Chain A
Amino acid sequence: MSTYVFIAEALFFAFVILTFMGAVLAVRSRLLMHAVLGLAVCLLGVAGLYFYLGSIFLTMMQILIYVGAICILMVFGVMVGYTPQEIAESNFTGRNRFLAVAASFAGFFLLLIPVLRATFPVAAEKTGDFSLPWLGETLLYRYCLAFELISVVLLAAIIGAIILATGGRES
């Protein structure tokens, strides 16, 4: 095994560990702000996983949309909506402990068995590639309607969010 392959695998495990550490911080932290920042770390690790899955474009999109937009939106939501006192002592995770552990363990083992046992038939021949022009062509020709609908949904969501955040129909 060459040195480059070893370095690539070590980087892969670093991304996996980053993802899991961020997820643990997001799920278990006592403070809301730490949970949101843990989510940002987790999403950065997932961006690295997308890189290993062959798509540099989605790596960039993950960092731009998820880390750059959604996490910042959540940080703003926390900072605008809560008083400093509430942020300082928010999000105690003291209850439902046994229920949470039971639900997650049951879900994990229930889904782990088919994941380990199933075999997935690999497609015989590739009809496309990972290149950006092919992705753009697929997005704008074959999935054109879905693409337009997503943009309409996003517009409706933003308008609805503004209406909700400014106090509803009365004000």
Chain B
Amino acid sequence: MYRYDKYDQAMVDTRVEEFREQVRRRIEGKMDDDQFKPLRLKNGLYLQLHAYMLRVAVPYGTLNSAQMRTLADIARRYDRGYGHFTTRQNIQYNWIKLAEAPDILADLAEVEMHAIQTSGESIRNVSSDHYAGATADEVIDPRPWAEMLRQMTTFMPEFSYLPRKFKIAVIASAEDRVALRWHDFALRIVRNAAGEIGFEVFLGGGMGRTPFIAYRSREFLPANQIFSYLQAVLRVWNRHARRDNIHKQRMKILVHDLGQEEFTRQVEEAFQHFLSLGEDFPQAEYDRIAAYFEPPAFEQGLSDEIDLSDPAFAAWVKQQVVAHKAPGYAIANISLKPVGGIPGDISAEQMELVADLAERFSLDELRSTHAQNLVLPHVRKADLHTVWQALVSAGLADANLDLVTDVIACPGLDYCSLANARSIPVAQKIVERFADAGRQADIGELKIKVSGCINACGHHHAGNIGILGVDRKGSESYQLLLGGSGDEDTTQAKIAGPGFDEDGIVDAVERAVEHYRVIREGGERFIDTYRRVGMEGFKEAIYG
């Protein structure tokens, strides 16, 4: 993984001290909140419903054990003993005191972490495949490219006052594990016929009030031209964006207004200009950064055998463990979706245990996922049982990856000042309703995503079953959506009909699931059945 050099460290340290001074002046009353707000947001500090919330960047979801221990320490020392992993692979703390925020940033800086670009009108933390560097289905490790984009865009003057937030994702496999086409700027690394590395480029995706799936603007962009292309996209957006209307500032709206063809034409024109400036990465710079992502020294000659005589362990392996590129190794997914839990929440003690497991059994690497789970990317198969036992003891061994109880949910009205309805209780009730492991296994892959407002942090547009909480005359109401996907077969979910109350939406989800179980054919997943039969049959089952 990437390590700071003296320049990186100096920049982050300086930023911490700058913010410390800004906080001091705010507390002394020398700035009002209107003046201070953009400064704190530049450092990931929000003011939420109950307290300040700090969102910490986890670039492309990669962490080591020392970083995870620091996250645990922050949870214990400065917060209320837990953190919350988000759908952008970040972690956020919900109960931060303003005066302590600079100390937290200083602690983060000691382990080469920060909260820059986790909020505000910036290029947000670049997300990537949580199996990067471990999976056999990737063309190359996508993280060096994500890191290069991060470095080139952080503190770049033209990107310091964007019309709105801008989200980038990079993957390198056909299977999409990052909800690629729901991003403003989405890159899939591919090889052309000549074996050269390049990017399939998608532009203008995003959820929120006006959802759009990104369209493909380039089938193959030479890799060494990526920064010119990104600059071109941002230049066109910066030039035309509707800065007069907060609901129309995102790039997806401009793409829609101009049309994909015209937007692409203007991008290509600007691209030629930026190419002529010669500001793209020299190969040596790519090589320098890529060296940090060289595969770890996997042991040779390991056995691929796993003793599955323990049924509970076998069930966990079946659901949570996926193939690794190196013989004798496996990728182990850690569920943060226990029955009765809050999706994405993890206690300080659990973080420390996961850090220990990463250090002892995963070559010191960890990943966070956009589905609010964690990953141990490099576990020897011979160690899986030991890892599982430790996870069991910590309440982290649920075997529900991509099943009906692996629910994504935003913090909702329990924490978020933007939300209109609570999303966590809905997620919890769904998980309780479907808690039976046999029933979950029978239902199979089913991705449920819950948002507490139209901003869609819970990705409801991409849910096979999506739930959107709205305010209906001062009460919470929940709309049911069907048919969404954030995978390589990206689709946008559609509203099924009138909304429900909190218990009603859980019943409605169950009716939709039971209808699927009745009409599914062969090995169809829920989404396959929905796509085959369409909305009408489901509507009848849900609404009668």
Do the two chains belong together in a single complex?
no
